[in-house]
Amino acid sequence: MTSTTTTLSVTLSSAGLSAAELLAVARRGAPVHLDPAAREHVASVRGHIEHLALGAVPVYGVSTGFGALADTAIPPSLRHALQRSLIRSHAAGAGPEVETEVVRALMLLRARTLASGRTGVRPVVVETLLALLNAHITPIVHEYGSLGCSGDLAPLSHCALVLMGEGRARDRDGAERPVPELLAEAGIAPVLLEEKEGLALINGTDGMLGMLLMAIADLDELVRIADLTTALSVQGLRGRDTVFRPELHAPLRPHPGQAASAANIYALLAGSEIVADVAAEGSRVQDAYSLRCAPQVAGGVRDTIEHARTVAARELASAIDNPVVLEDGTVTSNGNFHGAPVAYVLDFLAVVSADLASIAERRTDRMLDRSRSHGLPPFLADDPGVDSGLMIAQYTQAALVSEMKRLAVPASVDSIPSSAMQEDHVSMGWHAARKLRTSVADLRRVLAIELLTAARAIDLRAPLTPSPASAAAIAVLRRTVEGPGPDRFLAADIAEAEARLLDGSVLAAAEDVVGPLS
């Protein structure tokens, strides 16, 4: 459920929107308002559309049909019906409902493009869209309906339908109520769409972009959590810290993400009695790849996130519509609604998310195997044989990783023609975004199980103590999850570990000791 406790207020201007502002509105319910200068600009551009609407020359989306019907002229008396019919017919989604934060993100991003003055809508259209957000009226949007080209058509149409006073929506408490009732309660008048406005409301990459921005924010945190769980596993497995020294990374292989990950892990291991004992023992030259190569994998994840961030920033600076209004007032068709650039990086992130989970699962499995764990009991069980310990937690991890590998198959390589072959190549970016959301949630669960396992392994290394940062992280977990002992209801422990990663408290405890991780 979206929180409404934030005090941040966002002003939407023609200059655009930042990722932080998007997250504040979509996830924390920040209010958003239209900048007066942007309103004036939008009104000025609208004048060009009204002039064209009176002319004899057909203009796509203004005085013609849509898609394969673009050559069909529409007389002025039917243009309200044209826009209304467009929204009703395109609100053709199916399947489960999309999450509230996703719907809020796509509404805000569409409002951002409308506020750019490149779409030719009236200011009332932008302001009404923002009013829905501020009243926490959330249109019901369905899982299926977008091909990621010509815009996220069905999802945006379900939102536009509510703008018209129709369709289905939920209130701030998540209850579905009649749309006219919700609008009246909030003092919002339904919009009668004029020329071009229906098309402008649905012709954008807003759904896939919103999900990309939220995935980047989540992965920024999860890749730091992965460095923390790696450091915990290194100690649980009596690993060495020498491979994380800075001179082995940036000077030899200058991938910035790798250097950042290695530095994080090295800092998180500082002061560990377990690591010091391993160094004094000197019995092993090298650790397994899942420990030794962790910075190379997590570093590649970081660098992929940075590429995705670059693409997202460019898309945030874009005005996606077709046709679009140029600076000189010309209204012209274009292909900027094609979601390929966004779809590609959504798929890239699903690939690296799966691989980060895969290496974490390998570390977990190693801690549970007495032949590879360097002295730990089988499955970290209290009484092996009577107790199964964390045996099945690794099964759950393996199931999650297996799903993530399937989700890493790219959606953007697929294309099914639509609209009587007028739209003969599409991006499938919406589907890339939907599967990435599942992958990110699965990654958090995989890391939660590694946290649970490594914390128990470290406890079993007593009286040797872990690093101060590790001890602080484990202490947060131990508030709700007991340490080693007889078997108990394990699903509850996994859920608690996941919750501590989701609320950020475990990571924050470690960072309180070593400072912010890169």
> Which residues are designated catalytic?
60
Tokens of 86: 């467009």
Secondary structure element (H or E) that encloses residue 363, with its range: helix 340-368
Tokens of 156: 């945006």
Give φ, ψ of 19 to 5 degrees: -60, -40
Cα–Cα nearest to 225, from 452, 465, 483 = 452
DSSP for 23-82?
HHHHHH---EEE-HHHHHHHHHHHHHHHHHHTSSS--TTTTB--GGGTT-B--GGGHHHH
Q: Angle formed by the axes of helices 19-28 and 206-236, to 10°?
A: 90
- CA-CA distance, 377 to 382, in Å (whole number)? 8
Own/partner pairs, 246-252, CB within 8 angstroms, 24+ separation: 249/295
Q: What's the chain's length in residues?
A: 518
Q: What are the residues whose beta carbons fall under 8 Å from the beta carbon of 409, sequence distance 6 or more? A: none
Secondary structure element (H or E) that encloses residue 142, with its range: strand 142-144
Query: Cis (ω within 30 of 0) for the bond into 323?
Result: yes
